[in-house]
Chains A and B, each alone.
Chain A
Amino acid sequence: MLFNSLNFAIFLPIVFILYWFATKGNLKLQNILLLVASYFFYACWDWRFMFLLIFSTLLDYYTGIKIHEANNQRKKLFWLWLSIGVNLGFLGVFKYYNFFATSFSEGLSLLGLKANLGSLQIILPVGISFYTFHGLSYVIDLYKNRIKPERNFIDYSVFVSFFPLLVAGPIERATHLLPQILKKREFNYSKAVDGLRQILWGLFKKIVIADNCAQFANTIFNNSHDYSGSTLILGALFFTFQIYCDFSGYSDIALGTARLFGIDLLRNFAFPYFSRDIAEFWRRWHISLSSWFKDYLYIPLGGSKGGMWMKIRNTFIIFLVSGFWHGANWTFIVWGFLNALYIMPSIVFNTHRNNLDIVARGKYLPTIKEFFAIGITFSLTVFAWIFFRAANVTHAFSYISKIFSSSLFTIPHGIGINKSIMLLIVLFFIIEWFGREHQYAIAHLGTKWYKPVRWAMYYGIILSIFYFSGKEQQFIYFQF
């Protein structure tokens, strides 16, 4: 069930009405309803993988209790590693088996040896990377004594499977989400209205901007040998907007939906394309994953405590792992490596925490220095996205080499760009810029306007969603 589907438009109001009216504020009933709704939501993708989800939930629930009850460190470690091993084992089999098998065979063939491990027809269970990380954060936090185990299986299951975040995040922490699930939730008018606004903006980003950009990006990337360098740059730019609007649009819908049920999820995006350096970009892009890696990988590896080399090594490790987390393809690893390279100067010169606040706070425009810093960071990001989008590394390099050919200085042609879509992208960019100090771009837009004008704005957005709806595309991050 896609967020941008009619099925979800029917599903959400039904769950909402049952949640607030039928349960009469009974927390136990509300959580049971959320769990049933979440499993139904997941089963709509593929009911067979529900068993994997339930098994993973049971495993972490049980090992969590065992970690807490263990009376010595060895036992604690045993249960912790059992959970980590099984969770990552599932992830490895479903997501990475074919990658490792093929890479191993290719590696041996380079040495003149013949080995064929064969590839399996494995379907990737949707959301496995996300709910696995939910579970891992729970057992690691228990091991570190940051939280107490949750003994109510229903409540714990809601934490793992809450439908707005189940298939593409944000990756929640038990410390943040579990207390909200256990606490009695009252309906909050302004929170619900805010949730609806965020859903509306998320849908606009996904359906109007991302899906339309996807059509151009797909055409250009899939036929890159036919296009000039300038058109290929345009293709990379389209993908840059597509991936941002697709994923941040999804996150907006997830956050808005959760808010309708009185639950606040972690913010996942904070206007990353207005970043002044790569370190800032990574504090603003897929925040829940970046902070997960920081807390559960970078810091346990020693973080920045062991001197400069340790810092550099650990930075490379988390970026490579982050790339690999996105998918079983060398393109993602190269993308991760490239980002690690980008961030290196700020790590070495210790400038990575220079830009903590949003750019040009309280001003209409950035300074010239900020403008150039944003431009350079954006260009580096666009370049890295080429690897992320390309079918394989060879394709990425041929794409880049074609960009830097003489055809770079020709006028882009042959893709039939719709002027209205281009105008909408520009308008979107302007709205994002002026809304950058808030949770999401339209969080405060029109809130003080006269009601008919404000409603006209909402109607305008709704109509544009229908009017400019491109060919329905699945959310990119579902494949991860």
Chain B
Amino acid sequence: MKQFTIKLISFVLLFLILIFITTFLSNKLINNANYYKLSDTTKFVVFGNSHSECAFNDSLIRNFKNLGNSGESYFYTYLKVKKIISSNRQIKNVFIEFTNNMIEKSIDSWTFDDTYLPIRIPTYFPLMDYSDFRLIWTYNYKGFLNCVPKSILKNIGRNFKYVLCAEKGFNKEAHFGGYLYLVRDKTDSLVNNPPISNLNEKTKSEISEINIKYLVKTIEFCKLNNVKVFLIRSPLHSKYTGNENKIKFRELLRFQLINSEFLDFKDFPLQNYEFGDLEHLNYKGARIFSIFFNNLLDLNLLNKNNKQDFINNEISKLSFSEPSNNVVTKNHINKMTFK
């Protein structure tokens, strides 16, 4: 019995020690390497969920990097922003997607659910500290435990790949997202058969405290590091139903997020075939929007006093007919392309 107990304890201890050492070394390597170093010319970065992931084609915007990622909650955005800002001191302006769905309580599932944890934890494991681990543990300890060995093994693999790869700058192994070239075009069918909102009265009134808390933390972190944060709402189709919580949305902007400016592109005029669905631009829409956004940056948008008026004014120049119907003429698209 004594022999069994000693051997079993040794077996478990050795396993834990090996895990600890491997994790420590692997995380150290990842954090020390130029893993998250962007090109020196990158001055602007957009973070956020699939809305910005699909809207900003960063190959068409000067000095700009899209690090949006589908299904990303602000908890992970916070970790990502911290790492990117501290590894890229040349960045002085960041955009963070702030859309209606990001304030809903249901978004907490993007942080803690079993569907998302196995994707997120391995990526962010080396960047998480005790309080981050504790938060995940509190909400889903089982999922967290399942992800830890996965994270360790995946990060060892990442390190190997990184050591082997020739280019030592920011690479796809970071899994930090990027522009998504969306091909689909199912807007017409969605307009004809609009999806029923799955928010009931109760959930409509519930706000994700955790998501907002991490958005605020992100903004504070940027401020401490002299980086300006602009909350941004990417173009949405006029039939998009997710903005039922607009009162809460406005209240949040007015009170909790008062210190950051909000740039709204919700009504940017596009045609149905330029949307992948009611809330994501496909590559056609992204092209038009990105060129427009690039022009705005060239026109010194970020130093204007009243940015939203300036944006609206620029948008109104695009629309030859009613903007609310999402109409832009073909001529104008071409005109923008050659601008």
Q: CB distance B149 to A466 under 8 Å?
A: yes
**Contact: B11 with A455, CB < 8 Å?**
yes
**B11 contacts A467, CB within 8 Å?**
no
Which of A135-143, A187-195, A265-273, A368-376 is the contact stretch?
Answer: A187-195
User: Do A187 and B149 touch across chains, with their CB atoms under 8 A apart?
Assistant: no
| Complex contacts, B148 vs chain A, CB 8 Å | 466
Q: Which of A42-92 contact B (CB under 8 A)?
A: none
B14 adjacent to A466 (CB under 8 Å) = no
Check A6–B153 contact: CB distance below 8 A.
no
- Check if A404 is an interface residue, CB within 8 A of chain B: no
Choose, from A126-134, A293-301, A457-465, the stretch at the interface. A457-465
| SS class, residues of chain A in contact with chain B | helix
Contact of B4 among A189, A462, A469 (CB under 8 A): A189
Give, as a whole number of angstroms, the nearest-CB distance from A474 to chain B.
Answer: 14
By a beta-carbon cutoff of 8 Å, the part of chain B in contact with chain A is 1, 3-4, 8, 11, 14-15, 18, 114, 141-142, 145-146, 148-150, 153
Q: Among B4, B14, B141, which residue has its beta carbon within 8 angstroms of that of A193? A: B4
Chain B: interface secondary structure? helix
Which one of B11, B15, B114 contacts A471 once the chains associate, using CB atoms below 8 Å?
B114
Q: Is B146 within 8 A of A458, CB to CB?
A: no
Known: A189-B4, A471-B114. A459 touches B146 (CB 8 A): no
Judging by beta carbons under 8 Å apart, are B3 and A463 in contact? no
| A-B contacts at CB below 8 angstroms, number | 31
A20 interface residue (CB < 8 Å to B): yes
Q: Which residue of B lies closest to A5 (CB)?
A: B142
Cβ–Cβ contact A467 & B150, under 8 A: yes
Quote the shortest CB–CB distance from B11 to chain A (angstroms). 7
The distance in angstroms between the C-alpha atoms of A459 and B15, with both chains bound, is 7
Q: Is B1's CB under 8 angstroms from A462's CB?
A: no
Shortest distance between the CB of A408 and any CB in chain B (Å) = 31
- Per the bound structure, the CA–CA distance linking A463 and B146 in Å amounts to 10
Contact A6 B11 (CB under 8 A): no
Contacts of A189 in B (CB 8 A): 1, 3-4
Report chain A residues within 8 Å CB of B149: 463, 466-467
B141 cross-chain contacts in A, Cβ below 8 A: 6
For A459, A466, A469, the residue with the greatest tally of chain B CB atoms inside 10 Å of its CB is A466
Q: Could you tell me the distance between the alpha carbons of A196 and B14 in the complex, rounded to whole angstroms? A: 17
Which A residues are in CB contact (< 8 Å) with B150? 466-467
Which residues of chain A come closer than 8 Å to B14, judged between CB atoms? 455
A contact residues vs B (CB 8 Å cutoff): 5-6, 20, 187, 189, 192-193, 196, 455, 458-459, 462-463, 466-467, 469, 471-472
Q: Are B11 and A458 in contact (CB under 8 A)?
A: yes
The interface residues of chain B lying within 8 Å CB-to-CB of A458 are 11
Q: Pick 26 A–B contacts, CB within 8 A, sort by A.
A: A5-B142, A6-B142, A6-B145, A20-B1, A187-B1, A187-B4, A189-B1, A189-B3, A189-B4, A192-B4, A193-B4, A196-B8, A455-B11, A455-B14, A458-B11, A459-B18, A462-B15, A463-B149, A463-B153, A466-B146, A467-B149, A467-B150, A467-B153, A469-B146, A471-B114, A472-B142
Residues of A within 8 A of B8 (CB): 196
B18: A residues at CB distance < 8 A: 459
Which chain A positions have C-beta within 8 A of B15? 459, 462
Name the B residues within 8 Å of A467 (CB-CB): 149-150, 153
Given contacts A459-B18, A462-B15, A466-B149, could you give 18 more A-B pairs where the C-beta distance is less than 8 Å?
A5-B142, A6-B141, A6-B142, A187-B4, A189-B1, A189-B3, A196-B8, A455-B11, A455-B14, A458-B11, A459-B15, A463-B149, A466-B146, A466-B148, A466-B150, A467-B150, A471-B114, A472-B142
In Å, the complex CA distance between A471 and B146 comes to 10
Contacts of B153 in A (CB 8 A): 463, 467
Give 9 nearest A-B pairs by CB, closest first: A466-B149, A187-B1, A189-B4, A467-B150, A469-B146, A192-B4, A467-B153, A463-B149, A467-B149
CA distance A354 to B205 in the complex (A): 71
Residue of B with least CB distance to A455 = B11
Residues of A within 8 A of B114 (CB): 471
| Docked CA distance A472–B1 (Å) | 34
Closest B residue by C-beta to A193: B4
Task: Report A-chain residues with C-beta under 8 Å of the C-beta of B3.
Answer: 189
Could you tell me the distance between the alpha carbons of A189 and B2 in the complex, rounded to whole angstroms?
9
Q: Give bound CA distance, A192 to B14, whole Å.
A: 20
A20 to B5, CA, bound (A): 11
CB distance from B68 to the nearest CB of A (A): 24
| A267 vs B149: C-alpha distance when bound (angstroms) | 32
A459–B149 Cα gap in the complex (Å)?
A: 11
Measured CB to CB, the nearest residue on chain B to A456 is B18
Tell me which residues across on chain B come within 8 A of A192, comparing CB atoms.
4
Closest B residue to A190 by CB, please name it.
B4
Alpha-carbon gap, A196 to B237, bound state (A):
58
Q: Point out the residues of chain B lying under 8 angstroms from A20, CB to CB.
A: 1
For residue A466, which residues in chain B have a CB less than 8 angstroms away from its CB?
A: 146, 148-150
Report chain B residues within 8 Å CB of A5: 142
Closest B residue to A13 by CB, please name it.
B8
Complex: chain A residue closest to B143, CB-CB: A472
Q: B residues within 8 A CB of A193? A: 4
Chain B residues in 8 Å Cβ range of A471: 114
A469 CB contacts on chain B under 8 angstroms: 146
- For the complex, what is the distance from the CA of A171 to the CA of B275, rounded to whole Å? 60
Q: Residue of A at shortest CB range from B153? A: A467
- Please measure, in the bound complex, the distance between the C-alpha atom of A440 and the C-alpha atom of B180, giving whole angstroms: 49
Chain B's nearest CB lies how many Å from the CB of A185?
Answer: 12
Determine how close the nearest CB of chain B comes to the CB of A351; give it in whole angstroms: 47
Chain B: CB-nearest residue to A6: B142
Docked CA distance A471–B1 (Å) = 36
Give Cα distance in the complex from A113 to B11, angstroms. Answer: 69
Give the docked Cα–Cα distance between A187 and B2 (Å): 10
Instruction: Report the minimal beta-carbon distance from A421 to chain B, rounded to whole angstroms.
Output: 14
Cβ–Cβ < 8 Å partners of A6 in chain B: 141-142, 145
Tell me, in angstroms, the Cα distance from A193 to B5 when the chains sit together.
11
Contact partners of A187 in chain B: CB under 8 A: 1, 4
A5 to B146, CA, bound (A): 11
**B220 vs chain A, min Cβ distance (A):** 35
A15 to B227, CA, bound (A): 56
Least CB distance from A57 to B in Å reads 31
Report A452 CB to chain B, min CB distance, Å.
10
In whole angstroms, what is the CA distance A193 to B7 when docked? 10
CA distance A97 to B150 in the complex (A): 45
Complex CA–CA separation, A312 to B231 (angstroms): 77
User: Roughly how many angstroms separate A193 CA and B3 CA in the complex, as a whole number?
Assistant: 11
For residue A363, give the distance in angstroms from its CB to the closest CB of chain B.
Answer: 34
A7 — nearest CB in chain B belongs to which residue?
Answer: B142
- A196 neighbours in B (Cβ, 8 Å): 8
Closest A residue to B152 using CB positions: A463
Closest to A189 in B: B4
The chain A residue with its CB closest to the CB of B118 is A469
Kindly state the separation between the CA atoms of A472 and B115 in the bound complex, as whole angstroms. 12
Most central of B4, B11, B18 by chain A CB within 10 Å: B4
Give chain A nearest CB distance to B137 CB in angstroms.
12
Task: Determine the chain B residues whose CB is within 8 A of the CB of A459 once the complex forms.
Answer: 15, 18
CA distance A376 to B99 in the complex (A): 59
Give the shortest distance, in Å, between B136 (CB) and chain A (any CB): 15
Say how far B139's CB is from chain A's closest CB, in angstroms. 15
Closest B residue to A462 by beta carbon equals B15
**Bound Cα distance A88, B18 (Å):** 53
Residues of B within 8 A of A463 (CB): 149, 153
**Min CB distance, A365 to chain B, in Å?**
34
